[in-house]
Structure 1
């Protein structure tokens, strides 16, 4: 099975370090995730420096095959392939993954100035759409997440915007 980790365009080195740590890799392996793809964004870690050219690198660590890279034009293919997504708590990323019906563990970035990521993660977790975790809780979150028990996210209603616009315009 495949786990995909994304930090978006930010620098979220603590999430990357956690994902590559023995406790997280052990939790992934115990759940059957033997393949890991890591999008490391603007990381300042050594692994990110070796892929400055845009290349993809591959390593095996703790019996988990890991592919890592900085950016791609779209993450859609990775979201679709993944059995589990571990993500920063960016709203766009969360919505993209939930609309695909994928299991997702969201880790808010504690270095951001406001707490919007934490608020969003908690609200969606409280509603059962995803599992929210901190960096230190990540191994436990991986061990505990049950994709079949997560609520399906409601499908996008594209007509809603038109209805709101019509109401505002008096139609």
Structure 2
């Protein structure tokens, strides 16, 4: 399937993800066009257009048929927009918080995520063969408060 693909890593670096997508494109496993938001990373992809930062990536998210993202807040937006996406945890960041966050959301949605960039091709194939991810929990508010360690004083 030929699709507009947007890859985003947020404000940090995630060269392993950018390189993995670039390799999938050069190997013919992904067909672009591909736009990469590479953040503070050092690797510059060879297969597609890239930029480091913009005030907003809303246009790129809107135009994309498939988004490959790190495990950050963009995941909420993609779930709300019913976009096809794969979330990839950046395990090099302190405390591996992205994998924990994605595991938490993965239990409450039909999203596809991984913490291993070598499985990205299989994850993309799975996402493209089914409906976009949806939240399965009626409300994440109390779950998120518990996840973040915030207690609800209203019940006291």
Q: Please list every run of 5 or more consecutive structure 1 residues that lacks an aligned counterpart in the other structure.
A: 49-58, 159-166
Residue 135 (structure 1) aligned with residue 133 (structure 2):
no
Alignment of 1:30-69 (within 5 A): 34-45=32-43, 47=44, 61=47, 66-69=48-51
Question: In 2 relative to 1, CA 99–28 (structure 1 residues): closer, same or farther, beyond 3 Å?
Answer: same
Question: In 2 relative to 1, CA 157–124 (structure 1 residues): closer, same or farther, beyond 3 Å?
Answer: closer
Equivalent residue in structure 2 for 1:88, among 56, 70, 87:
70
Q: Please list every run of 5 or more consecutive structure 2 residues that lacks an aligned counterpart in the other structure.
A: 142-152
Under a length normalisation based on structure 2, what TM-score does the superposition of the two structures give?
Answer: 0.76
In structure 2, what is the Cα distance between the partners aligned to 1:24 and 1:138? 14
Identify the residue that residue 146 of structure 2 maps to in structure 1.
none
Q: Which has the larger radius of gyration?
A: 1
Preserved CA contact (<8 Å) 2:83 2:133:
no
Residue 16 (structure 1) aligned with residue 18 (structure 2):
yes
Identify the residue that residue 163 of structure 1 maps to in structure 2.
none
In structure 2, what is the Cα distance between the partners aligned to 1:149 and 1:81? 15
In structure 2, what is the Cα distance between the partners aligned to 1:122 and 1:7? 18
Aligned length: 141
Preserved CA contact (<8 Å) 1:4 1:37:
yes
Under a length normalisation based on structure 1, what TM-score does the superposition of the two structures give?
Answer: 0.70
